[in-house]
Chains A and B, each alone.
Chain A
Amino acid sequence: MPKSLSVKEPYPPGDFAIWIIVYVELVTFGFLFVGYAFSRRVHLQMFNESQLLLNTNIGFINTLLLITSSFFIVKAIQKIKTMTQYNSYESSIIASKWLLSAMIFGILFLVLKLTEFSHIFGQGITLSTNTFFMFYLLLTMFHFMHVSLGVIILFNIYQKTKRQGYSAEEYRGLDTGATYWHLVDLLWIVLFPLVYIIR
């Protein structure tokens, strides 16, 4: 069958409920991103000056951490999807290691972000300092909460994978957790250039 005629899956991976959450989160963050961009127009100088106080290196490392952790999760799912009854133990262990690596990268993201927050707060900056920092703190702290929840979800699917709780036929829970983590990654992919780079 030609590729163009290949049959598409009827539903996206994971529980359908997670996709409702994904779409709602995208819209919520979308409003904040656009709000930031249009506020910047009005307070251009203040946004550019305030942005200089951010640590671009940390933002960049965090981008790599999230992208790579998402990649690790895809590798874990691939391992589970292709496992057979003869190699289910080995496949589950390998997949759990991919998930553990993804979780460690997620924790590293949180640690770096806390370092950045500590630096910002150490300078006496708060939500009410100016419009730039209001948006910066709102966006990044909201995203931080999502990453924290994502790490908890990863911990749960890691444990279930290690216990051979998923098979090549039934891995919906794994897909659901992975979808949430990819959402967190997708949001950061827009957030990083918008807040740290564009000036």
Chain B
Amino acid sequence: MKMNVERVWSILTALSVFAFLLGDLKLISTFLVAVLLLSTFIKGQLVIDYFMGLKEVQPKYRIIPTLWLSIVLSLVAAAYYLPVEKL
């Protein structure tokens, strides 16, 4: 699906407001951290695809930042959710 940049900006803004409200209203919970990370992935991918313009380019250039985003956010999730071993 191809979106115009106005819609992309609106989604980015809405997701940023969502993240801010989670923090400001102290609503952040274990479950909502996963939702927040997912929304961060969506925001990052929108910037990669529509602002950086990689959606219209050969996939090998797009896959690098997409993989980066996936790996970093997965590791952040792992650090958050994996149980801490007691020494």
Indicate the size class of the contact surface on chain B. 35 or more
> Please, which residue of chain A has its CB at the minimum distance from the CB of B74?
A34
Q: Which of A40, A75, A185, A189 has the most CB of B within 10 A?
A: A189
Q: Inside 8 A of B22's CB, which chain A residues have their CB?
A: 197
Q: B27: shortest Cβ distance to chain A, in Å?
A: 10
Judge whether A107 is part of the interface by a CB distance below 8 angstroms. Answer: no
Given contacts A26-B65, A190-B44, contact A33 B19 (CB under 8 A): no
Interface of A is mostly: helix
Candidate in B20, B37, B48, B57 with the most chain A CB atoms within 10 angstroms? B20
Alpha-carbon distance between A43 and B69 when the two chains are bound, in angstroms? 25
What are the 9 closest A-B residue pairs judged by CB atoms, nearest first?
A37-B79, A197-B23, A60-B20, A71-B9, A37-B76, A182-B51, A12-B61, A34-B75, A26-B68
A residues lining the B interface (CB < 8 Å): 3, 8-13, 19, 22-23, 26-27, 30, 33-34, 37-38, 40-42, 44, 56-57, 59-60, 63-64, 67-68, 70-71, 73-75, 78, 175, 179, 182-183, 185-186, 189-190, 192-194, 196-199
